[in-house]
Amino acid sequence: MAFGMRVVVLHLLISLLLLQLIKGDDDTLIKLDKPKLQKCGIDRIYQFGDSLSDTGNCLRESYCGAQTKTGKLPFGMNFYQNATGRCSDGFIILDYIAMECGLPLLNPSLEENADFSHGANFAVSRATALSAEYLISRNIAISFTNSSLSVQLQWMSSHFKSVCSDDCAKYLENSLFLVGEIGGDDVTYGFKQGRPIEEVRRIVPDIVKNIIHSVRTIIGFGATRILVPGNFPSGCFPIILTLYMSKSSTVYDEYHCAEEWNNFTISYNNLLQQAIHELNREYPNISIIYGDYYNAYYWLLRNAVALGFDKKTLQIACCGIGGEYNYTEDRRCGKPGAEKACADPSTYISWDGSHLTQKAYGWITKWLIDDILPQLNCHV
């Protein structure tokens, strides 16, 4: 009972805090009353990743932009009624982290003439950790974007040549780098194309190897604070639950999440954590932190009702059409017939079946910041 009351009180406090968001004169600066990460002195953020982090790069790629529906409502319906390429109804994790640092929201790196003085976002929707060539060699086709993690690193290198070629280490000494989440699409592409889960599992070590190589590359430019998120328990997501419905052997946990898929994710995350641990021993003066998206999401599920989510919609997509989870591949959010979202996204965790609502991202970010703050060596 006491715990439940604390969660309710916390919910009210966060709700009041979110009501204090102030839209800046340049439409990009958001201020929080007491941003937790501001005491760390972070002055720039650099993001790599996929659709969980994209703030508009996909829209600026010809092929990716032609396929995505994130450039029009209902995407962004709670982002000042502005569809920016974010896969949500509003803010995403990166936005909340920027707010907590007291910084403007990050512009997509492909946006021409944008302000990158506070960092840049290189993430692209549907991007993979592995190259297109590698995945094709494993009979996994990519049909959305070729802007894999290695391509995003090339963009970063070009960016730094233009802003800090003489002394990037000094320029980046107070920066925060987010390498991911990425790698989830590599796995999902394979699974959706009929590859057995054990076959897909074989590419995981190479996914982790590419992520770690990227971290080394970033360190080489002078990064000292790096967050490397693991994967969400996607066995709880409508997209995976829908794909699994055809498997009669599916076993669900107490939250109706597909156990086999989540066990796969646990093994992936464990491998990534071990690689990060080894990196930390190699670079003892650099903060390389694992972002525990998995446990953050389960914390949200356990406390969902107390946090204001509807118990009946915890695994139902707010935007989409069809099936038990309001998700079908050919009628995803934004496609013909699915141009409208639910009346109140704040009562849903899932936005479109594979991404979360603004409110869900907000709570997950709060959990993450509480988890990583002691590891950031803020020295305040």
Residue 310's contacts (CB-CB under 8 Å, 6 or more residues apart) are 347, 348
Question: 85 with 54: CB under 8 angstroms?
Answer: yes
Among 126, 314, 162, 153, residue whose Cα is nearest residue 238 = 314
Cα distances (Å, whole numbers) of residue 274 to 293, 343, 354: 16, 43, 27
Question: 200 with 191: CB under 8 angstroms?
Answer: yes
Q: Which run of H or of E encompasses 351?
A: none
Strands 44-48 and 175-179, by their bridges, are parallel
Q: Which of 51, 125, 214, 346 is catalytic?
A: 51
What is the b/e burial string over 326-361, where b = at least 16 CB atoms within 10 angstroms of the residue's CB? bbbeebbbbeeebeebbeebbbbbbbbbbbbbbbbb
Place of tokens 């960016």: 159
Residue 112 to residue 121: CA distance in whole angstroms: 13
Q: Which of 54, 89, 346, 355 is catalytic?
A: 355
Q: Which of 88, 109, 352, 354 is catalytic?
A: 352
Residue 198 to residue 304: CA distance in whole angstroms: 32
Strands 225-229 and 287-291, by their bridges, are parallel
DSSP letter string over 102-142?
Answer: T-PPPPBTTSTT---TTEEE---TT--SS-HHHHHHTT---
Residue 371's contacts (CB-CB under 8 Å, 6 or more residues apart) are 292, 296
346: annotated active-site residue: no
Residue 101 to residue 334: CA distance in whole angstroms: 32
Question: 89 with 345: CB under 8 angstroms?
Answer: yes
Q: How big is the chain, counted in residues?
A: 380
352: annotated active-site residue: yes
Residue 141 to residue 315: CA distance in whole angstroms: 28
Among 252, 251, 257, 255, residue whose Cα is nearest residue 238 = 257
50: annotated active-site residue: no
**Active site residue ranges:** 51, 352, 355
